[in-house]
Amino acid sequence: MTVRRPLRSRPLVLAVGLALVATGCSLGDAPTPGVADDGAGPTSYRIAPDCPPPPAEPPAVSVDLLNTYLAETDLPAWQAADIGARTQLSDGRLVWVFGDTVRTDAYSPQVVSNSMLVSSGVCAGQVLPDGDGPIVPDTTTDLDGGGEVVHWPMSVVALEPGHEFADGETTDVLVVLTARTRRGGTGNDAALDYAFLGTTASVFTVSAGGAPTLVESMEVTPDDASLDQVNWGAAATVTDDWFYVYGTRQVEGSFGRELHVARVPVDDPRDRSRWEFWDGGDWQADIGSSVAVLPADGGVSQTLSVDALDPSGSAGFVAVSKQDGDLGDFATVWSAPAPYGPWTQGDRVPAPAGFDTGNLLYAPLAHPEIELADGRLLVSVSRNTTDFGRLLAEPTEVGRPVFTEIDRP
């Protein structure tokens, strides 16, 4: 894939929920399938296949070419998955994080809650931990009402290593923001029972050409199953000095969601005391002071992308999302001169929600690092189906993201 270095809902997952009821791009050497760990943290990670370094002069690409590459990619531990948030490493490789992921039936379980790919040019490799489970382990815990806690990635950024990672080998620090989600409970509808509890930040270190390795996970917000809480981490982007974290909030009576924004210095985003939230006129330390920078009426999806393409320009920050939430029928772009706005709506392209057909389209995300020959903005749209049996039988046809394009602001 062609890359350039920038300035540096959970959507409805009905099909995977049904799995819990029903079951009570290049080719390379396939990894040996294994059984996923049950809540145990992995100790090492590997990439399979191991891709060559990115080309110094990437060729021009088109949406059709990228969709062909994606359709021809055959990775045993990544047959279908949704979301696909991405960031670029200092060595030019792209890291992609996904939510619920379907693998071949050689793996048990066949569906894991998250996964990661690393791509270089047109080669993509699976990042696999010890035990071949999810890259961020599920949390085995007893909750009121039963169920388990899983981590669904929403966004990812790459930071320069700070002093605690100044080991001479670490070239990048990845921060993956996940939706800590209670899945399942008791009763007949347990498999379709999902509740966002809070945001977790998982930190990975990466060496040049190496596999991302998880070093720690920490709660950004505490457990709270309130439907109207802000889902922090729905998008994230980085400028020279600031790490911006966006959150979305469900509002009663609206299909769309509000958009909120916080910031923290890039030198130590783990220091919660340094986080600030936009209150409509200034940045404040009190999380309760956060106000919406986009309203819920005509608003965004639970998960979206925001990129700082040119922070000093009039369209420096670019957001891509379904308009009117995950039930909307259009992928839309907004731009703003500042991380908090004012936001101006731009182009939009059809992305029918698909509840009338059973073929779901949701969570459009921009990928500005990959340059298109026609100069437009590359966007991926997640796909899924309400027929879980079909998802397992035809994962590449109905469960992989599809690329489209939209006019740049």
CATH number for 94: 2.115.10
Q: Identify the domain containing residue 279 by its residue range.
A: 14-28+46-406
In this prediction, residue 191 carries a pLDDT of 45
Q: What is the pLDDT of residue 136?
A: 96
The pLDDT of residue 39: 42
CA distances to 57, 96, 284 from 276, rounded to whole Å, are 40, 27, 5
Is 34 domain-assigned?
Answer: no
What type of residue sits at position 235? A
pLDDT at residue number 168: 85
264 within some domain: yes
Domain membership of residue 37 (yes or no) is no
Count of domains for the chain: 1
What pLDDT, on the 0 to 100 scale, is given for residue 140? 63
Quote the pTM value: 0.88
Over residues 223-241, the pLDDT tens digits come to 998 999 999 999 999 998 9
* Sign of the torsion angle spanned by Cα atoms 9, 329, 72, 174: negative
**Residue stretches of the chain with pLDDT short of 50:** 1-40, 142, 186-191
Mean pLDDT for all residues in the chain: 87
pLDDT, residue 24, reads 28
**3-39: b (≥16 Cβ within 10 Å) or e:** beebebbbbbbbbbbbbbeeeebbebeebeebebbee
In a domain, 38, yes or no: no
- Does residue 323 belong to any structural domain of this protein? yes
Within a domain: residue 105? yes
- Is residue 344 within 8 A of residue 326, CB to CB? The reply is no
Q: How much is the pLDDT for 184?
A: 72
pLDDT computed for residue 41 by the predictor:
56
Cite the DSSP H helix spans in 222-314: none
pLDDT at 38: 38
DSSP per-residue codes, 103-130: --TTSBSSEES-EEEEEETTEEEEEEEG
Residue 399 in any domain: the answer is yes
Residue 41 lies in a domain: no
